[in-house]
Amino acid sequence: MHLYTLVYVQFVAELLGVTDTRDPAVGRYGSIIQGAFLLGWALGGGFFGRIGDRLGRSRTLCLTILTYAGFTGLAAAAQTWWHLAIFRFLAALGIGGEWAVGASLLAETWPRHWRPWIAAVLQTGVNVGILLAVLSHYLMAGIVAEQPRWLFLVGVLPAFLVLWIRRAVPETEEWSQARAGVTRVRARIRDLFQPGLRRTTLLVIAVCALGLSGHWAFMFWHQIHFRNLPDVIGLDAHAKGEWGRKLLYLIIVASIAGNFVAAALARRFGYRRVIVGMSLGYFLALTLCYAIEWPHRQLYYLLAVPGFFQGLFALYTMYLPPLFPTLLRTTGAGFCYNIGRLVSAVGVVFFGLFGQVGDYRLSLLLAGCLFLPAAGVALRLPERRDAAEPLAGPAD
C-alpha cells in the first residue's frame, strides 16, 4: 500500500524522463497516480463487498489478496506514468475489497467484548505491513536508489497467504446462517438507501469522505513538503530517501500506539465519542505541524502527533460493519468506506494544486481542516458501545 509513497518521487521522475525530482510534473502526475489508486480502492470496496455477501467472506478474501498482490508486482514493469496508474488502480481494487470483507469477517467472528482490541490489532497489522515496506526499502536501498521499480516486487509476497486462508479460515457462522435463510442473496447498493438505512448510510459516507480525504492528503503530501524544506532540499537523493523512511517509520509507530489508546477509550466511552475526539485531535495535530514553518528536525518529531491520531481508523473497522444488516454488511461497509476513498482521490489531486505554486504546507493545513466537519457529522452517528448487534433487521 505504501510502497509507492516511499519511491514515487524517483519512480515518477524516471517514467517522465526528467532528472530533477523537484520538477512540478513529478508532483502533478504523482498525485494523479495516487488518485487512481484511491479510486480503485473505492470501487474495489463496493465490488468485492457485493461478492463477499454472495460468495462468503473467506473465499472473497482470497480473491482480494491475489488481486492486490499480483498487480502490485506488475507495477515494477511500468514503462510510462499511465502504466503505473493502471497497475496501482487494479491493485487498489483488491485492497479496498480486503478491508470490506476482512472487517465484516472479524465483526462476525470475535466476541463483542474483544472487538475494540481486535480492531486495534487489525489496524496494527496494517501498520506492521507498512513498517515491513519501510524495512524493505532500507534493505534494498542500494537497488532502489537506482531502480525504484524493484521495490514493488515485495508486494507479491502476500499472495502466499491465500494457501493458509483457504485451509484455516472457514466462513462465519453468522453469514452461513443468514445465507441459509434466503433462497437468493440480493446484496444491492440501492438497499442501503431504503428508509431504515438511508440516514445511517449517508452519515457514514460523510464521515469517511471527510476523514479519509484529510488523512490521505497528509500521508501523500507530507513527504514532498519535507523534501522541499530549505534545510532538506539541498541534500542528495540518498539522504532524502533516508529522511523519507524515518518519517514514515515515526508516523506508523505513533499510529500503533494510537490504535490501542483508541480501543481502550472506545471500551470506556463508546465508539462515537472517541471517533469525534480523535478527529478533533487529528485536526489540531496538523495545525500544530503546519500552521508555522518548522525546521526539519523539529517537524520530524512533531509528525508523531498526527501519527498518533490515526488510531481513529482502527475504530472504523469494528464500528461501521455492524451498522448494516448481515447480508448487506460487506456491501454497506465497503460502499460507504470506499466512497470516502473516491472523494479522497479527488482531494489528493485538489490539495496538490497548492503545491504547484510551492506551498505544500498550505495544502496540508487545509487538509487538516476537513477533520472538523468530520467530527461534527460523527456526533450524529448511532452510539455503539460494543458494536455487536445490527441496527436493522435482516436484509430479506
What is the per-residue pLDDT for 181?
61
Q: Which CATH number fits domain 3-378: 1.10.10.350, 1.20.1250.20, 3.40.50.720, 2.60.40.10?
A: 1.20.1250.20
Taking only the tens place, the pLDDT of each residue in 300-357 is: 999 999 999 999 998 887 788 778 887 787 777 777 877 887 888 888 878 777 766 5
What does the alpha-carbon distance between residue 300 and residue 289 come to, in Å, rounded to a whole number? 9
What is the per-residue pLDDT for 363?
87
What is the per-residue pLDDT for 355?
65
What is the per-residue pLDDT for 187?
59
Give the list of residues 6+ apart from residue 141 with CB closer than 8 angstroms, or none: 238, 241
What predicted TM-score, i.e. pTM, was given to this entire model? 0.77
What is the per-residue pLDDT for 384?
58
Give the list of residues 6+ apart from residue 308 with CB closer than 8 angstroms, or none: 254, 255, 257, 258, 261, 281, 285
End-to-end, the C-alpha distance of the chain in Å comes to 36
What does the alpha-carbon distance between residue 167 and residue 163 come to, in Å, rounded to a whole number? 7
Q: C-alpha cell of 393?
A: 433487521
Intervals of the chain under pLDDT 70: 1-2, 107, 112, 115, 145-146, 175, 178-187, 355-358, 384-396
What is the per-residue pLDDT for 394?
29
Taking residue 312's Cβ as centre, other Cβ atoms within 10 Å add up to 28
Q: Is the dihedral of CA 292, 234, 356, 86 positive or negative?
A: negative
What is the per-residue pLDDT for 390?
37
What is the per-residue pLDDT for 186?
59
Going through 51-128 in order, the beta strands assigned E by DSSP cover none
What is the per-residue pLDDT for 184?
55
Under 8 Å between Cβ of 334 and 343? no
User: Which among 97, 319, 350 is positioned nearest to 203, based on CA atoms?
Assistant: 319
What are the distances in angstroms from CA 294 to CA 84, 85, 180, 272? Answer: 34, 33, 60, 34
Residue 191 φ/ψ region, left for φ over 0, alpha for ψ in the -120 to 50 degree band, beta for the rest: alpha
Instruction: Sketch the domain layout of the chain as residue ranges.
Output: 3-378
What is the per-residue pLDDT for 259?
92
Taking only the tens place, the pLDDT of each residue in 266-297 is: 888 888 999 999 999 999 999 999 999 899 99
Please, what's the b/e burial string for 67-97 (b: 16 or more CB within 10 A of its CB; e: otherwise)? bbbbbbbbbbebeebeebbbbbbbbbbbbbb
What is the per-residue pLDDT for 185?
53
